[in-house]
Structure 1
Amino acid sequence: MHSDTEIRAILSVDLVYFAIGVLILTVGLLSILQGVFSRPRQRITAFFGLIGTLYGSRLLLQLRIVPFVLGLSTYLDRQMWSAMNYVMPIAGIYIWTYFASPRSHKWFRIAAGCFGVFAVVGITHDLFTHSPWSYPKINGVLVIATSLLTAILLVADIRSRYIPLDGALRSAGIGFVVFQLTVVYDNLAAIGVVPSAWTEPFGFLVFLFAMGYAVQYRVSRDHNRMVTMQAEMDQARRIQMSILPAGPPATPHFQIAAKYEPMTSVAGDLYDFLPLSGDRIGLFIADVSGHGLPAALVASMLKTALSIESRVTTRPAELLAELNRAFCGQSHGQYITAAFAVLDPQAQSLSYAAAGHPPLLLWRSSSGTLDAVEQNGLPLGILPIAEYSEVTVPFARGDRLAMYTDGIVESENVAEEEFGSERLSAILKDSNGSAGELLGTVITAVERWRGQREQSDDLTLLIVEHV
């Protein structure tokens, strides 16, 4: 039996650690909520909160007053405490990957895997043997080895300039050192080298707030970078949209409809209309390999080159040859498929040439047939001496043509089946509406085919009817 004085002494000591445990647990739970419900989700904040939640719960279970108040048996209390000891290092390892360079991640994954296997074996053994915390020495060896590994990897990354030694990393490092010193002190106290004291909770509290500052610093920095990047992408999209035609040209001879759907904010597809002499119209369409900003930059360069070269020649084959020479050695490994058609209402014909591009589809009103017009050479930007040829075919009143990028026919559904040129051809043959209505029918069919699957490529479609 304890005297009243001894009980008050125990309670006074336990209450100090109880306050620390409640504080750590509260910070952990709030961090988990912030990480889970933030948009976008902050996984690093959630894992930081998981560490705090596990450690705070572990500390409270370790106190004599908490199991008594909760009515937990000593066995259940120890099993829960033991399980948290096994699991907590895994979340701690994940936190450090947020600060380390990608080259160090594999070592952290190996360490996490070792702790994961150890946790499964340890918890299983404890449950079957009814002996909680069976392997404290193995756990100690793994913790010390992982702490040394973490320090070595971070120092190597800093020395190699893979990661900056910023305020976040300094804060995390200081908290880590303080926590490790308290762990070492408690172990030395256990063997009588230094006066007995339980300093680890105080060290973890310092580590928690130091790491919390570091995590929030990095999350805030990454958020600001994302906001800046998004603003730049929005500006790039506005610039790219400005180089596309504001609308089809007004002409009494042709009914023209166009649709452009980029996969991302900016894209590598391009189309343009070139008014020519004699009421002729030039139709240009291109698809830069790749996606996103690199493809969009090449598309912008292509627009400039098209404006310059079309002043020299408007013959399809010659224009593509000039564009090819301009882009060889300038596209940085990206190639361009392109096609150019010149519609002549007086001659009721179209002249066409292409550079690795999907065929022009031509529906003839007189026969109700659909022809694929192909006159392809190499994609632009591959071979400077590449030659291109053109073909001239009838384009009578009532005829329709479709020019498109491969994102139309290569759109996939959830079963990874492509929309295909056959389905596109069937729609073009069976539709009787205007050019705009036909374009809408094709786009709707592609979207329905894709279903819940995300768009995987840029889409561009031009429909022209000779009226």
Structure 2
Amino acid sequence: MGLRPWGGLPKGAVMTATIKITESILLVDDQPVNLQVLMHTLERLGCKLLVAKNGETALTIAQKARPDLILLDIMMPGIDGFEVCRRLKADPSTQKIPVIFLSALDDTGDKVRGLQLGAVDYVAKPFQPEEVIARVNTHLTIHRLSREVQQQRDELEHELQVVSQLQRNLLPERLPQVPGLRLAVHYETSRYAGGDYYDFMTLPGGLLAVLIADAEGHSAPAAVMMAMTCALFRSCSTGLAEPDRMLSFINENLCKVNRDSFVTAVYAVYDPARRTLRIACAGHPLPILYRFSEKAAAEIPCDSVLLMGLGPYADVPVTEVTLHPGDRILFYTDGVTDRFNASQERYGTNRLLGQFSNAASDDPEVILKEIVDDISKFAGDCPADDDQAMVIIVVD
């Protein structure tokens, strides 16, 4: 085994603060003459040249030095080049290193076998120096760009993970404790960051305010709109008990800063003394009410205003329903009903109504789990392409 760096600073040169990382090439051949020719040919590239005279040594160097490219002979004592390539591609630590076969075997079958093993190129001996340099340059460039793209993807993934965690920090840490009510929530993003949002606020007189919203899309811009909706809701000091005033307030402020996106929402206020739920809706899926006395579920027929962020509201209608012990309410975002399976069938509102009606328990946590499991079973291996949020309230 030999390690031979080539290039370096000219005599009298002064090193500056800028450091260029030298790319390395591993040359594998059992013939010293061939290695000398290769070293002389590639010396002008300014790369660090590593040398191995057999397959075992090549594998050892590749694992330790992680070269940027390997020029690999086929006919060698011990394990041949084909086996070296197979082992390189089977090892996660070396499988991404591009391999160019450089061999006197010029049969088409040998070339095909080499490429099938994962080599990126095949050069027959005797070779032309210009051809080798051109192919080496090409694959070094591809490998370098691939690393840069992967690095950018890793950095973006890290940023999205941070955004996702910050977004989840905006959600309520714990569910409110309201006498006579039991609550449960489910929240799932299709990517790292999403646009779905739910929140609660306990108000004077024992009132409970519930907000569920869905910003357009399910990426970073949607997460920003979700955060803005959260900030507006939590910063509002008046009108919290009035669903129409709350939606008007959020919409008015979103219109001031928004130009290209929108938010759907349902805002509801429950009065435990009167057992009433007052609801305002802005382009959002209607809440579902399960009547214990009827053993059936149906959408609450609420009049809706336009999506928030598009323009001012002249008037926001409010719907009031009276709840009884055993009744339950489901608020959800459209990612629940818009889940598709492999046949491009939509889960849909009817399936959700049926699942909500036929729940085996009145425990909201159990009901939510049954719905989530049913959606997963329906979708199979098809991933969710939208965020999903659900809030269930059961009246005792």
TM beyond 0.5: yes
Mapping for residues 265-304 of structure 1, pairs under 5 Å: 265-304=192-231
Residue 326 of structure 1 pairs with residue 373 of structure 2: no
Q: Please tell me whether the aligned partners of residues 349 and 395 of structure 1 are also in contact (alpha carbons under 8 angstroms).
A: yes
Which gives a bigger RCO, structure 1 or 2 (Cα 8 Å, sep 6+)? 2
TM-score (normalised: structure 1) = 0.61
More displaced stretch, 346-355 vs 428-437? 428-437
The CA deviation string for residues 383-402 of structure 1, in whole angstroms up to 9 with x for no partner, is 22453211111012221000
Residue 391 of structure 1 pairs with residue 319 of structure 2: yes
2:71 counterpart (12, 16, 24):
24
The CA deviation string for residues 358-403 of structure 1, in whole angstroms up to 9 with x for no partner, is 1111112223232311231111111224532111110122210000
2:356 counterpart (408, 425, 428):
428
Q: Secondary structure of 2:159's partner?
A: helix
Q: Secondary structure of 2:375's partner?
A: helix
Q: Which residue of 2 aligns with 1:225?
A: 152
Mapping for residues 22-421 of structure 1, pairs under 5 Å: 24-26=71-73, 49=99, 52-53=100-101, 56-57=102-103, 60-61=104-105, 77=107, 201-309=128-236, 311-328=238-255, 330-373=257-300, 374-385=302-313, 387-421=315-349
Calculate percent identity across the aligned residue pairs: 23
Q: Please tell me whether the aligned partners of residues 348 and 397 of structure 1 are also in contact (alpha carbons under 8 angstroms).
A: no
Following superposition, the deviation at residue 456 of structure 1 comes to 1.4
Provide the aligned C-alpha RMSD in A. Answer: 3.5
Q: Secondary structure of 2:331's partner?
A: strand
- The one-letter code matched in structure 2 to 1:460 is A
- The one-letter code matched in structure 2 to 1:414 is A
- Which ranges of structure 2 fall in alignment gaps of 5 or more residues? 1-30, 40-52, 54-69, 75-80, 114-119
Q: Looking at secondary structure, tell me which structure has more helix per residue.
A: 1
CA distance in 2, matches of 1:455, 1:367: 33
CA distance in 2, matches of 1:375, 1:424: 21
CA distance in 2, matches of 1:463, 1:313: 21
Q: Please tell me whether the aligned partners of residues 20 and 201 of structure 1 are also in contact (alpha carbons under 8 angstroms).
A: no
Count of aligned pairs: 321
TM-score (normalised: structure 2) = 0.71
The CA deviation string for residues 63-107 of structure 1, in whole angstroms up to 9 with x for no partner, is xxxxxxxxxxxxxx4x669999xxxxxx78xxxxxxxxxxxxxxx
CA distance in 2, matches of 1:209, 1:218: 14
CA distance in 1, matches of 2:73, 2:110: 18
- Which ranges of structure 1 fall in alignment gaps of 5 or more residues? 1-12, 63-76, 85-90, 93-197
Change (3 A) 1:26 1:338: farther
Q: Please tell me whether the aligned partners of residues 338 and 357 of structure 1 are also in contact (alpha carbons under 8 angstroms).
A: yes
Stretches (4+) displaced over 4 A? 17-23, 26-39, 79-84
The CA deviation string for residues 175-227 of structure 1, in whole angstroms up to 9 with x for no partner, is xxxxxxxxxxxxxxxxxxxxxxx995322333344444433433332233222
The CA deviation string for residues 392-423 of structure 1, in whole angstroms up to 9 with x for no partner, is 11012221000000111111111111111111
Q: Secondary structure of 1:389's partner?
A: coil
CA distance in 2, matches of 1:213, 1:426: 59
